[in-house]
Amino acid sequence: MPHLVLEFSNGLDESHDMPALCQALFDTLAKHTTFPQPANLKIRASAATYSVIGTDPQSFVHATLRLLPGRDDDTKSQLTSAVLSTLQSHLPQVGSLTVETVELHGASYAKRVL
């Protein structure tokens, strides 16, 4: 934990370097003091096979940052802004870039690591 999950319009990975974007987002979050152990960060991205959006161009990236409880609203806002800034710098021509931070219910989260 935390997890950053990217959903993007189908085909965007053909015109943009999504592995580099994932690495840039990892680096952005790893710098933030709220994550003292960057090894716990998980970034993943997948294409939305089918989508319709109201912007032109018809392209989007939506990022969901999933966190365990314990961070104040200011910290969540900083993280959301940092993710959006990284998306903007890597995807300037994408029609819609959105970010949301979701606080998970700690009692219902389980983890296993080797």
- The partner residues of 62 in beta bridges, in order of sequence, read 7, 98
pLDDT tens, residue by residue, 37-83: 999 999 999 999 999 988 888 899 999 999 999 999 999 999 999 99
Please give the class, per CATH, of domain 3-108: alpha beta
Q: What's the whole-model pTM score?
A: 0.91
Query: For position 109, what pLDDT does the model report?
Result: 76
What phi, psi does 74 have (nearest 5°)? -65, -45
For 7-44, write each residue's pLDDT tens digit: 999 999 999 999 999 999 999 999 999 999 999 999 99
Question: Nearest 5°: phi and psi at 53?
Answer: -130, 165
* In the predicted structure, residue 86 carries a pLDDT above the cut 80: yes
**Rg, C-alpha atoms of the chain:** 14
Domain assignments of the chain as residue spans, ordered by start = 3-108
